[in-house]
A and B are shown apart, each in its own frame.
Chain A
Amino acid sequence: MYHKEKSIQIKNSASALYNNLGVLRIAPRSLTYFTVVHANVVNMVSASWDGLNYSHRQLQSKEPNVATSTSLIMQAAFCALPSRDLLVVTSQKGIQIYESDGSTMVYWHALDIPETPTAQAVFARGISAVESYICVGVSSGAILVFDVPSKGSNITLSDVLKGHEKSITDMASECSGSQECIADLISADDRGNLCVWKSGETFQRFNNIPGFDMSCTSVKLWKGTAVAGYGTGQIRLYEAVTGILHAEVNAHARWIYSLDIAPFSGLLLSAGEDSLVRVWHLTMKPESLSVEVAHLHNECVTDTQICGAKFCDGDGYAFAVTGYDLSEIIRYTQS
């Protein structure tokens, strides 16, 4: 179904972090941007679709002052807003927002760090754009909502959402493009709890889907269905606003590190520490008001704990994978 393509070499290896691959497709320029986090650096590659041109850039985490040690980056993700695309980088010290090509930093938000370290680590993790907002999760369980203007750097913190008691692991917005969805944002935490929100001037929490004391490491929202990957290697599909469980898959033998959905085709990608990437197909079943999942394809990245896997386009024609200690982005295309 898929075959391996030529990999893209990156300047550093990928770190073992959840969802460690960012992809942004720039159709007008026939380019795709990729981001991979390595310790305190984000490696950016801009790849032309003809496979002939690759340009690299590195972004560093911002240090508040020289006396402190380097700040490790937890996640880097592209945010597609109605009128602009931005790149968000979250670290132990704060949140950096760049223009999507990484050329300029347009905003910096410092986290509240206590003077003496407490037993609870402090960091920001979990990034999603919804409407004209960028939402970022924090280790305390709070979600920071930033209001982003259509251009310029006048980004403001407009809300702080409380719904989680454990560190946020991942967040996602409704990706089907449908305007009728009741809820358009989902957040996940280290206890496996999922919160479902509706964005607006004031965000509303619609539902809370409890977990089983096992981290939900990656989450997606598609046509009102929450798709969540867990440290048990399982994928669960829920109806987001009601919490009704549609399906449960014993998908991987180790922790799942990344999920992605191709919104136009309903293809689902899952990847884990067990070195396997799996492709599934989601089908809406309106007659029974449920969703079904079918397995399509496996790829094994030998001896590699995968940390990022994303489709490169909305149909799922191609996908890319990163692995811990690997200095390349591996690509697969449909045969």
Chain B
Amino acid sequence: MSVRTLPLVFINLGGEMLYILDQRLQALNTSEDNSEKVMNDIVGTMFSKDFMDELIKPQQLYSHRTLKTVLTRLAHASIMRLNPASMDRLYELMVMAFKYQVFLCPRPKDLLLITYNHIDTIREYVKHTPVVVNQVDETHRKIIEVYSSLPEGEFQLLRQTLLIFFQDMHVRVSLFLKNQIQNPNGRFALSTSGPVPHGIDVPGLIRMFDRKGREVRRCEFPTGGSYSSPVREGCFELHGDRVIRLGMNMYTINHPEETHTSKAPSVKTDDTPNLLAKEELNLLARLMGSMKAENMPETGFWINLFTTDQEEEEEAASDGAEESLFGVINIQAMQDEQVATELARIAGQFAEGEETPGNLSSSKGDDLLAMMDDL
């Protein structure tokens, strides 16, 4: 469907990722230096010109697997390391937050305002590093240039593409349940009251005209809701009041339990096929290639962002304090080899896919592996 989803997907999902990481880093009393470095490294990589240029090329939105791989790589552009279980939970949180924002987006065009809310906060995170702020500004300008003139129909197609991508995901998030924006069954609450989106008339009126175009009668009908006039329109420039709050940071510092997630009952398992089409592999290679790896630091630190189920049970049993909800930070020496092995393992998964039917030449797969090893 829409071929313009990737830049918005990465900025919004990346933004959600940074909100959660920021909350965790603060909750774990990470030093300001380390926190800032993590943020600067991730934002710098995400908003690098090369990466954004690749995203902006017209292309389809592929699978969750590809997205998760690239986001993991983005997170690992910093000195922080996430274990796979943490990354899985982080991804679920990010996606559910973005799904909520897209679902409730008042007008399709407001997807841009949601994106700008994320960019505004990201800019705040890196405000002490002018080089990175510059990258963020440049990307923001590019987004304004590419998307501002799109008609509403195109935005709706983009939104529909995203909704298909998020379909059937009903992971329950503690914060959403607490704020009653999500129901216990995992579905988001949709209100039939409140202001209508900008540019829409409040429902309830029927007007009838004669053949000369003069209004001859008007009558009202019961709407079954209680709607009111729209609020003012948000600002689509580089800086300004976005008005809508979707896309702003929902997480607060002292409440790490907000990011607890649980699967809704009768959740469907992911049955996406294992093989990635050649097109998707090409995209993955280009995106990974465009993320310049810094010299891998000799020391990094692991973050256990989310407790495992076992730890949660123990926690519930002992009724302990909030601090013990998070795992321990282990300072661990990260060798280059370890990183290369990790990437080769990811690449290896795709190599399996390559063996399945048809026209995929094996040499293409080899090139991809070689490219990843070089990273």
Contact = CB atoms under 8 A, between A and B. Distances in A.
* Category for how many chain A residues contact B: 35 or more
Given A190-B151, A298-B224, A275 B190 contact: yes
Contact of B153 (A191, A274, A302): A191
Given A16-B163, A274-B192, A232 B201 contact: yes
Contacts of B69: none
Which among B159, B200, B204, B277 has the highest number of chain A CB atoms within 10 Å?
A: B200
Contacts of A249: 205-207
A46 interface: no
Contact of A69 (B4, B197, B201, B279): B279
Contacts of A290: 208-211
B197 A254 contact: yes
Contacts of B328: none
A275 B193 CA distance: 11
Contacts of B170: 325
Contacts of A252: 203
Given A245-B213, A246-B208, A247-B208, A39 B153 contact: no
A35 interface: no
A294 B206 CA distance: 8
Given A15-B163, A303-B188, A295 B206 contact: yes
B359 interface: yes
A231 B62 CA distance: 27
B168 interface: yes
A66 B357 contact: yes
B224 A66 contact: no
A119 interface: yes
B297 interface: no
Nearest to B207: A248
Contacts of B157: 121, 167
Interface string B174-190: 00000000010001111
Interface in A6-40: 12-13, 15-17, 38-39
B84 interface: no
A268 to B, nearest CB: 12
A325 B224 contact: no
Contact of A167 (B62, B108, B153): B153
B317 interface: no
Given A67-B278, A117-B59, A303 B189 contact: yes
Nearest to B360: A67
B189 A65 contact: no
* Chain B interface extent, by class: 35 or more
Residue in B62, B108, B183, B196 with the greatest tally of chain A CB atoms within 10 Å: B196
Interface string B50-64: 000000011110100
Given A247-B208, A298-B224, A300-B224, A117 B60 contact: yes
Interface in A22-77: 38-39, 65-70, 72, 74
A39 B167 contact: yes
Nearest to B102: A16
Contact of A253 (B159, B203, B211, B278): B203
Contacts of A325: 167-168, 170, 187
B203 A250 contact: yes
B316 interface: no
Interface in A220-248: 231-234, 244-248
Interface in A276-317: 276, 288-290, 292-295, 298, 300, 302-305
A249 B206 CA distance: 4
A208 interface: no
A123 interface: yes
B1 A72 contact: yes
B190 A39 contact: no
B373 to A, nearest CB: 24
Nearest to A118: B58
A39 B203 contact: no
A246 B41 CA distance: 60
A133 interface: no
A119 B4 contact: yes
A112 to B, nearest CB: 16
Interface in B204-242: 204-211, 213, 221-225, 227
Among A166, A190, A250, A289, residue most surrounded by chain B Cβ atoms (within 10 Å): A250
A215 interface: yes
* Residue in A69, A92, A298 whose Cβ sees the most chain B Cβ within 10 Å: A69
Contact of A119 (B58, B201, B208, B278): B58
Contacts of A167: 153, 157
B340 interface: no
A141 to B, nearest CB: 12
B307 interface: no
B36 interface: no
Most buried by B among A16, A123, A292, A324: A16
Given A13-B167, A121-B157, A305-B103, A247 B207 contact: yes
B11 to A, nearest CB: 19
Interface string B95-130: 000000001001010000000000000000000000
Interface of A: 12-13, 15-17, 38-39, 65-70, 72, 74, 92, 117-121, 123, 166-167, 169, 190-191, 213-215, 231-234, 244-255, 274-276, 288-290, 292-295, 298, 300, 302-305, 324-325
23 contacts: A15-B160, A15-B163, A39-B167, A66-B359, A67-B277, A70-B277, A72-B164, A119-B3, A121-B2, A169-B153, A215-B151, A232-B199, A250-B202, A250-B206, A253-B192, A253-B196, A254-B200, A293-B206, A293-B208, A305-B190, A325-B167, A325-B170, A325-B187
Given A16-B159, A67-B277, 7 more contacts: A92-B1, A249-B205, A250-B204, A274-B190, A276-B192, A276-B223, A325-B168
